């Protein structure tokens, strides 16, 4: 094995040289107190096997050589655990080789090379990147593992397996696995449904495998989103935690596993004349994931390769906020990250649904402009035959029966009021009642000759076919060229069932479909760089790092009831920073739940995201409009802070009230909220503490909550906007005392360095 550009080997206490020195891959980010924080991954090269690994939070003075000595008594798990090395848990690679030549009777045509054992051939390390090359000549396979630190503090890794044999090799699974310390015994991840995304679930970790599979063809409302394992009792601001995310918008696997110790394995004693020694294979705890592959989906011909999605690991001693800070830092460093202030959106869907009328829609634009709205989005219903959700998908021409002369009159009016114009599309789907389907019924994903079941009256177009992609690219590109459109809401309203491609009669194509979505979106982005993109999948059904690397916004959920939206946004923020999270003020009576929500809660919920409106504001009361305008002005005044600061969520004993907000990266300011979600359990005041400010600086606290003043708000001096000043240390340790508020009442305070 060759090793380049990493620390020199060091002799042990007896003067012997054990081999190449360990390699450290470490990211740096921002911790809860503003100090450097990130994730460390140490690789321990071995001449006879894949490098073992250790992962944990970055610590000042961490020496990989010291770690190697401390871990010498055990054999840490590599990033690809192998059955052939004595690993009795879920293997990193599962697959087998097909026999292309005819076999004698009774001989299987498949099943060879199912237990590869890779030997390293090279390990290179440069800066924050490491590359491990390995091969199993007997199995005819080559493996490359890449690991690197990323902006924000996390690390990521991926595998590439290449078939060197003449017969095809079927990859059943290929997953990246990171080791965890044995003290990690509690797991958190998410489930959900449409209008109820990112529902947290926690449990104690026992022996065995905790496996979360996503089989919907896109990320899914019930996606694990992030697999978190930690020392029991971890919270938002405290505890040792490890979070893994698979950056893929198709089928995925997230896994946590604790494997008991294995049987003894005989090993030679290097440098001695003694016989082999018996060494116990220790138990291990791991976390990881990869793409979930359908049967036979990846069959590699000679020379072909398969590469896993990037699998991200964040480790923190600062609890869940420490993990989210690392992922937020990464996404904010991406080229596609929105660079301009996030404009206030008005989406017309819940205002008009399919009832498109020029006078109504221009009146909405006028009302929006008067409030300070900056972007107008025309949702579903503008294209041919689209009078309800049963027809029209696939026919991406403006419906001349509804819009004589096209959309120019509406767009010109919207632009004349100073608003950007955006449009809704759903490129991946087709209604059977459409001109496209009648002309090309074979353009759908299907497992064979049968038609898949309808979902929401839709079928899925086979984007793995070049003619389908070309058609969609050309139609969407024509719209973006013909009209002054600066924003596209890209929807995906159904799951993929029977995801087979017609290119190879019914062969699995979920992998190819996900990649084709990326390719189509990437090509459109390159052709129309002035356009911003929103990812929507019946709400929040496709939210992952891979899609976020390509868009400027996600629609967090089709649930716009403010009370129900609070937990959805709270937990989606575990991965996604606020500037991506579409958060809209809806009608007073929710269209989803029927509940009444006061404007104060609707405004406060939208404030800590990408603020928008999803209601018929032409029917709003003057008082509601006046208060809504105040919330819009508050958002515009503080959006630079909200969309660049570090998110903090406070752990509270009484979960009828939540406290959260953002702290500026330079610790100069914070915007915090207290939200009374339900009747409090007792009448004790809460302490709104603000971690991460400079303890020595003085800060002025001001109540900036729009709307009528409520008598239970904190007394911040007279007049109320004046506030008072305290130290950052007092804010972190004592906190602002807030009495229990009326149910569904928020308090928003601005904290600014003096």
Helix (H) or strand (E) holding 268: none
Tell me, what's the pLDDT at 730? Answer: 97
Q: In this predicted structure, what is the pLDDT of residue 309?
A: 98
Task: Tell me, yes or no, whether 340 lies in a domain.
Answer: no
pLDDT band, residue 718 (cuts 50/70/90): very low
Q: Tell me: do 635 and 659 sit in the same domain.
A: no
CATH (domain of 224): 2.70.98.60
What per-residue confidence (pLDDT) applies to 110?
Answer: 82
Asked if residue 659 and residue 569 are part of one domain, the reply reads no
The mean pLDDT of 199-222, rounded to a whole number, is 98
Instruction: Determine contact, residues 79/177, Cβ cutoff 8 Å.
Output: yes
Q: Please count the other Cβ atoms lying within 10 Å of the Cβ belonging to residue 644.
A: 16
Question: Is residue 268 included in any domain, yes or no?
Answer: no
Phi-psi group of 328: left, alpha or beta (phi > 0 → left; psi -120 to 50 → alpha; rest → beta): alpha
Q: What is the pTM of this model?
A: 0.95
Assess if residue 701 is contained within a domain.
yes
pLDDT tens digit sequence for 588-642: 999 999 999 999 999 999 999 999 999 999 999 999 999 999 999 999 999 999 9
Same structural domain for residues 604 and 694? Answer: no
Whether 636 and 654 share a structural domain: no
* Domain contains 269: no
CATH number of domain containing 742: 2.60.40.1180
d(CA 737, CA 223): 38
The confidence band for 273, taking pLDDT boundaries of 50, 70 and 90, is low
Segment 548-557, tens digit of pLDDT? 999 999 999 9
Does 103 have pLDDT greater than 70?
no
Q: Residue 719: which pLDDT band, with cuts at 50, 70 and 90?
A: very low
For residue 177, the enclosing domain spans 2-101+113-263+278-332
293 and 154 co-located in one domain: yes
DSSP states along 492-558: --S---S-EEGGGTTEE-HHHHHHHHHHHHHHHHHH-TT-EEEE-BTTBSS-SHHHHTT-SEEE--S
Residues 257 and 259: their CA atoms lie apart, in Å, by 6
The pLDDT mean for the chain works out to: 92
In-domain check, residue 619 = yes
Q: What is the pLDDT of residue 712?
A: 74
Task: Give the residue numbers marked as catalytic.
Answer: 491, 558
- For 714, half-sphere exposure in the C-beta direction (CA atoms, 13 angstrom radius) is 25
* CA atoms of 395 and 432, how far apart (whole Å): 11
Structure tokens at 303: 């020379």
Average pLDDT over residues 467-484: 98
What tens digit of pLDDT does each residue of 305-352 get? Answer: 999 999 999 999 999 999 999 999 999 999 999 999 999 999 999 999
Q: What is the mean pLDDT of residues 479-487?
A: 98
Average pLDDT of 563-575? 98
In a domain, 236, yes or no: yes
Q: Confidence class of residue 710 from pLDDT cuts 50, 70 and 90? A: confident
β-strand partners of 306: 161
- What's the rounded mean pLDDT across residues 377-400? 98
Tally of domains in the chain: 3
Residue 597 shares a structural domain with residue 673:
no
Q: Is the pLDDT of residue 19 over 80?
A: no
pLDDT the model gives residue 14: 35
Q: What is the dihedral of CA 635, 641, 642, 644, to 10 degrees?
A: 140
Q: How many other CB atoms are found less than 10 A from the CB of residue 656? A: 15
Identify which has the larger pLDDT, 351 or 110.
351
Per-residue pLDDT tens over the stretch 651-705: 998 999 999 999 999 999 999 999 999 999 999 999 999 999 999 999 999 999 9
Task: Find out whether 500 and 506 touch, Cβ atoms under 8 Å.
Answer: yes
Q: Which of 644, 663, 688 is the last residue of a domain?
A: 644
At 276, the pLDDT band (50, 70, 90 cuts) reads low
Statement to judge: residues 577 and 667 lie in one domain: no
Residues 639 and 664 occupy one common structural domain: no
Residue after which a domain boundary falls, among 296, 311, 332: 332
What the block records as the tokens of 258 is 């604790």
Domain boundary (593, 620, 644) is at 644
Q: Say which residue, 14 or 566, is predicted with more confidence.
A: 566
pLDDT exceeds 90 at position 109: no
CA dist., res. 346 & res. 420, Å (int)? 10
Looking at residue 506, its pLDDT comes to 86
pLDDT of residue 35: 40
Report pLDDT for 715: 67
Query: Are 47 and 188 contained in the same domain?
Result: yes
> What does the pLDDT read at residue 531?
98
Note the helical H segments in 3-159. 64-70
- The pLDDT tens digits of the residues spanning 497-536 come to 999 997 777 899 999 999 999 999 999 999 999 999 999 9
In a domain, 496, yes or no: yes
């Amino acid at each position: 094995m060759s090793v380049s550009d990493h620390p020199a080997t060091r002799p042990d206490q007896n003067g012997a040289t054990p081999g190449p020195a360990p390699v450290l891959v470490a990211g740096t980010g921002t911790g809860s107190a503003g100090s450097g924080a990130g994730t460390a991954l140490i690789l321990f090269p071995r001449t006879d096997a894949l490098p073992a690994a250790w992962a944990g939070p970055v610590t000042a003075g961490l020496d990989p050589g010291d770690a190697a000595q401390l871990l010498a008594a055990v054999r840490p798990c590599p990033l690809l655990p192998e059955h052939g090395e004595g690993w009795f848990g879920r293997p990193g690679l599962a697959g087998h080789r097909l026999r292309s030549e005819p076999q004698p009777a009774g001989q299987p045509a498949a099943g060879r090379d199912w237990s590869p054992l890779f030997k390293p051939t090279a390990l290179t390390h440069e800066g924050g990147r490491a590359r491990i090359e390995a091969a199993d000549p007997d199995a005819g396979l080559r493996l490359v593992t890449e690991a690197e630190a990323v902006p924000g503090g996390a690390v990521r890794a991926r595998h590439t397996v290449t078939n060197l044999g003449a017969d095809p090799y079927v990859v059943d699974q290929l997953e990246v696995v990171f080791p965890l310390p044995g003290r990690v015994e509690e797991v958190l991840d998410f489930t959900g449904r449409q209008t109820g995304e990112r529902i947290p679930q926690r449990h104690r970790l026992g022996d065995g495998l905790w496996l979360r599979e996503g089989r919907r063809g896109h990320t899914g409302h019930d996606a694990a989103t992030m697999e978190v394992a930690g020392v029991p009792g971890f919270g938002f601001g405290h505890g040792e935690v490890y979070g893994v995310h698979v950056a893929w918008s198709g089928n995925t696997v997230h896994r946590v596993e604790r494997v008991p110790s294995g049987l003894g394995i005989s090993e030679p004693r290097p440098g001695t004349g003694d016989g082999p020694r018996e060494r116990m294979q220790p138990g291990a705890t791991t976390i990881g994931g990869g793409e979930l592959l359908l049967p036979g989906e990846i069959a590699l011909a000679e020379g072909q390769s398969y590469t896993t999605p990037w699998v991200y690991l964040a480790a923190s001693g600062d609890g869940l906020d420490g993990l989210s800070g690392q992922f937020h830092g990464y996404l904010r460093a991406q080229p596609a990250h929105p660079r301009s202030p996030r404009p206030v959106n008005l989406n017309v869907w819940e205002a008009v649904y399919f009832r498109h009328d020029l006078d109504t829609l221009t009146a909405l634009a006028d009302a929006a402009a008067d409030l300070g709205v900056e972007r107008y989005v025309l949702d579903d219903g503008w294209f041919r035959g689209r009078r309800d959700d049963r027809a029209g998908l696939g026919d991406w021409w403006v419906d001349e029966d509804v819009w004589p002369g096209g959309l120019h009159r509406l767009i010109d009016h919207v632009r004349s009021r100073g608003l950007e114009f955006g449009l809704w599309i759903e490129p991946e789907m087709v209604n059977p009642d459409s001109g496209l389907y009648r002309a090309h019924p074979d353009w759908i994903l299907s497992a064979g000759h049968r038609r898949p079941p309808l979902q929401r009256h839709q079928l899925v177009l086979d984007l793995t076919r070049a003619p389908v992609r070309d058609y969609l690219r050309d139609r969407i590109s024509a719209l973006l060229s013909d009209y002054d459109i600066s924003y596209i809401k890209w929807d995906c309203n159904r799951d993929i069932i029977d995801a087979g491609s017609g290119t190879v009669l019914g062969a699995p194509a979920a992998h190819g479909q996900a990649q084709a979505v990326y390719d189509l979106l990437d090509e459109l982005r390159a052709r129309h760089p002035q356009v911003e993109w929103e990812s929507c999948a019946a709400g929040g059904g496709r939210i992952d790092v891979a899609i976020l690397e390509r868009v400027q916004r996600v629609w967090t959920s089709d649930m716009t009831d403010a009370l129900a939206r609070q937990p959805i946004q709270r937990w989606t923020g575990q991965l996604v920073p606020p500037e991506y999270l579409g958060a809209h003020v809806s009608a007073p009576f929710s269209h989803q739940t029927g509940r009444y929500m006061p404007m104060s809660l609707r405004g406060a919920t939208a404030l800590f995201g990408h603020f928008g409106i999803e209601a018929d504001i032409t029917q709003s009361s003057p008082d509601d409009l006046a208060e809504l305008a105040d919330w819009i002005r508050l958002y515009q005044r503080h959006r630079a802070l909200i969309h660049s600061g570090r998110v903090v969520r406070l752990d509270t004993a009484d979960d009828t009230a939540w406290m959260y907000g953002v702290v500026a990266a330079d610790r100069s300011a914070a915007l915090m909220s207290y939200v009374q979600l339900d009747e409090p359990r007792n009448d004790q005041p809460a302490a709104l503490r603000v971690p991460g400010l400079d303890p020595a600086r003085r800060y002025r606290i001001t109540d900036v909550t729009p709307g009528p003043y409520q008598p239970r708000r904190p007394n911040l001096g007279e007049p109320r906007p004046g506030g008072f000043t305290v130290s950052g240390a007092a804010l972190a340790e004592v906190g602002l005392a807030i009495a229990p508020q009326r149910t569904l009442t928020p308090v928003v305070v601005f904290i600014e360095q003096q």
